[in-house]
Structure 1
Amino acid sequence: MKMATMRILSYLMVLVLLAQASSALYFHILETSHPKCFIEEIPDETLVVGKYKTQAWDDASNTFLPSSPGIGMHVVVTDPSQKTLMSKFYSSEGKFSFTSHSPGEHTICLQTNSTKWTSGKKLRVHLDIEVGEQAVDYAQVAAREKLTELQLRVRQLLDQVEQISKEQNYQRFREEQFRSTSESTNSRVLWWSLAQTAILLVLGYWQMRHLRGFFEAKKLV
């Protein structure tokens, strides 16, 4: 009974993570600004799709309007080992995609193409990042593979089960990393304590020898 409860809680936790697998936001950047970077924790062999849209500030209407096609966006993605997975230039609106090859924190950086944008106005970027099976366009899958509604639903369920398995494996990977870090920290603390004890013993012995020599020089002993 206890094991069943733990298993249910584990599945609920993974489902919550999957519900948060899509994150939509917007941010402001300038022509000369540094890249805006975001960190996503992604399991291995997982599809990630990012959709973005840019809007430029218009002084006449005092609001953000759709950007001109001349405004470009440079997208760089690095994996947990700082290896570049993708580095491409895109237009003012579009989407990018990549597949992770190792679990962990992936960094997604976006920067404007300043060689084409010379107005220097503020730019608003809407970004929507989808991870796992949420990044799959099942309408296109159904049209390409000529699937019926039932077959498409089964395909979605299989993808969800596979993503849950990847999320569970990633959680185990994080637990192993945490355990390794804890054991390494405990080992260093132990060796530091032993080193401190040895230093105190050496200092105590040196002080005793020094005081003994001082007393003998003064003929107090």
Structure 2
Amino acid sequence: MKSTVFVAIMALLMTTVSALNLEVISSQHPVPVCIRDFVQEEQLVVVNIKTDGRVGDGQRLDLHIVDSIGNEYRRKNDIAGTVKVTFTSHHNAAFDVCFTNHLDHKYNQNSKLFREIDLEIESGAAARDWNAVQAVEKLKPIELELRRVEELTNEIVNELQYLKAREERMRDTNESTNARVQWFSIGVIISLVGLGAWQIQYLRHYFKVKHII
């Protein structure tokens, strides 16, 4: 019993789920409202969207999902009700879930219509259909929770390795930049000393020619 409770708590703590509620105001010249999340390469992502309103109510809510590298995962126009989007990430990168709410031209710009959106983003192990896994592999509840925790742990380890590799690249870049700045500073000092010595010699020669000294 204690093991089951421990596994359940660990699974709850480590589940990667982002859920929020937002209002997207409609406009004839709307600005996209975007929610950003980060995923690892080849990671499963499930985006669950639930909106109020309906198609033809004077608003057109468009959905666009794209990552920071430029990969487009989904584009849907005039969404309403419940929408589920599933995709696998191509890179370690942030991705944006963007909503654009267009107001029909027959409505006044001051109508202040809006769509309310419930957005839930699940990634990695949290996005898998564990009921289907349990049915296919015929796992007991405790085995299913252990399997889930194992996958979540592997994801955390992979993310830490990615962060470590990124930190090492940034450190190498920083050290390389410092070395270049150091040599540049030395070069500037040598140039200034050489220029000063040349100016002194030139002035001494000039004064001698003019019989000033």
Q: Report the alpha carbon displacement of residue 113 of structure 1 after superposing the two structures with TM.
A: 5.0
Q: In the alignment, what sits opposite 2:180?
A: 191
Match for residue 25 of structure 1 among 21, 24, 31: 21
Q: In the alignment, what sits opposite 1:45?
A: 42
Q: Report the alpha carbon displacement of residue 165 of structure 1 after superposing the two structures with TM.
A: 0.7
Q: Measure, in 2, the Cα distance between the counterparts of 1:116 and 1:135.
A: 39
Letter in 2 for 1:214: L
Q: Measure, in 2, the Cα distance between the counterparts of 1:20 and 1:146.
A: 23
Letter in 2 for 1:102: H
Contact 2:15-2:152 within 8 A present in 1 as well: no
Q: Report the alpha carbon displacement of residue 202 of structure 1 after superposing the two structures with TM.
A: 0.7
Cα RMSD for the two superposed structures: 3.2
Pair 1:122 & 2:113 matched: yes
TM-aligned CA distance change 1:69 to 1:154, over 3 Å: farther
Q: In the alignment, what sits opposite 1:163?
A: 152
SS at match of 1:40: strand
Match for residue 104 of structure 1 among 93, 102, 106: 93
SS at match of 1:110: strand
Identity of aligned residues (%): 17
Which is worse superposed, 79-88 or 165-174? Answer: 79-88
TM-aligned CA distance change 1:112 to 1:101, over 3 Å: same
Q: Report the alpha carbon displacement of residue 117 of structure 1 after superposing the two structures with TM.
A: 8.9
TM-aligned CA distance change 1:117 to 1:97, over 3 Å: farther
Q: Report the alpha carbon displacement of residue 156 of structure 1 after superposing the two structures with TM.
A: 4.8
**Total equivalences in the alignment:** 194
SS at match of 1:167: helix
Stretches of structure 1 that go unaligned for 5 or more consecutive residues are: 1-13, 55-65
Q: Measure, in 2, the Cα distance between the counterparts of 1:217 and 1:209.
A: 12
Which is worse superposed, 198-207 or 69-78? Answer: 69-78
1:44-74: per-residue Cα shift (whole Å, max 9, x none)?
A: 22222222233xxxxxxxxxxx412234432
Pair 1:133 & 2:121 matched: no
SS at match of 1:193: helix
Q: Report the alpha carbon displacement of residue 76 of structure 1 after superposing the two structures with TM.
A: 2.2
Match for residue 76 of structure 1 among 57, 64, 86: 64
TM-score (norm 2): 0.74
TM-aligned CA distance change 1:202 to 1:172, over 3 Å: same
1:185-217: per-residue Cα shift (whole Å, max 9, x none)?
A: 221121012112101211210121112111221
Contact 1:15-1:164 within 8 A present in 2 as well: no
SS at match of 1:203: helix
Stretches of structure 2 that go unaligned for 5 or more consecutive residues are: 1-9
Looking at CA atoms only, which structure, 1 or 2, has the larger radius of gyration? Answer: 2
Q: Report the alpha carbon displacement of residue 77 of structure 1 after superposing the two structures with TM.
A: 2.1
TM-aligned CA distance change 1:117 to 1:43, over 3 Å: farther
Contact 1:42-1:103 within 8 A present in 2 as well: yes
